[in-house]
Amino acid sequence: MSLKLSDTVPNFVQDSTEGKLDFYEWAGDSWVILFSHPKDYTPVCTTELGAVARLKPEFDKRGVKVLGLSVDPVDSHHGWAKDIAETQGTALNYPLIADHDRSVATTLDLIHPNASDTNTVRTVLVIDSAKKLRMTLTYPASTGRNFPELLRVIDSLQLTDNHKVATPSDWKQGEDVIIVPSVSDEEAKKLFPDGWTTHKPYLRTTRQPGAKTAA
């Protein structure tokens, strides 16, 4: 199947470095970032797994669980984890799916035959607490992923879910946001009592809701 944004991500049960993993049960009511790897003992992926382990406290703060996936078996994963700890200075602190039969990769459309008909591509899925796919990003094998960018996207998704705003290009936590065009000026007065700047009738910016003001 080919998952599209806002589709429900199907459940799966598969082996992992933390035992048999039922995705829905494991995820609970949390958001999830699932990122796939072509195979074990690959250099770029080794750095990525270490980077995510270091960033896990940031994902935790946002109520996001982290889940890796590679197509090799659990024993191989455990051996690779030792290399990750040794070379990246951080041990794995989240489960890594052992998708040895490619069942999860097939379910989530992580195999792109023109790139490889056996190994998963390097895709990131951001999944919300309702199991809806909110973002997908696929990188070529030669380019390591930018995980701070994924934190930025999650910040935007969680903010815009709760307020009638959108985030502009290169937005970061705490910066001004855009009032969505469907909100009239009258409604905006109630929602954004601190006011806003009108650049064009369709482009109004305001302080991020809930952002702390400078001392």
In the numeric block, the tokens 């400078």 are attached to: 214
- Find the angle CA(52)-CA(58)-CA(60) to the nearest 5 degrees: 95
Spatial distance between the Cα atoms of 143 and 122, rounded to a whole number of angstroms: 9
Considering 32, 45, 64, 121, which one is annotated as catalytic?
A: 45
Q: Are strands 31-37 and 122-127 parallel, antiparallel or unpaired?
A: antiparallel
Q: Catalytic residue at 148?
A: no
The partner residues of 126 in beta bridges, in order of sequence, read: 33, 135
CB count in 10 Å sphere of residue 78? 14
The two structure tokens encoding residue 163:
């307020």
Q: Which amino acid is present at 25? A: E
What residues contact 118, with CB distance under 8 A and at least 6 apart?
71, 102, 111
Q: How many residues does the chain have?
A: 215
Residues with catalytic function: 45
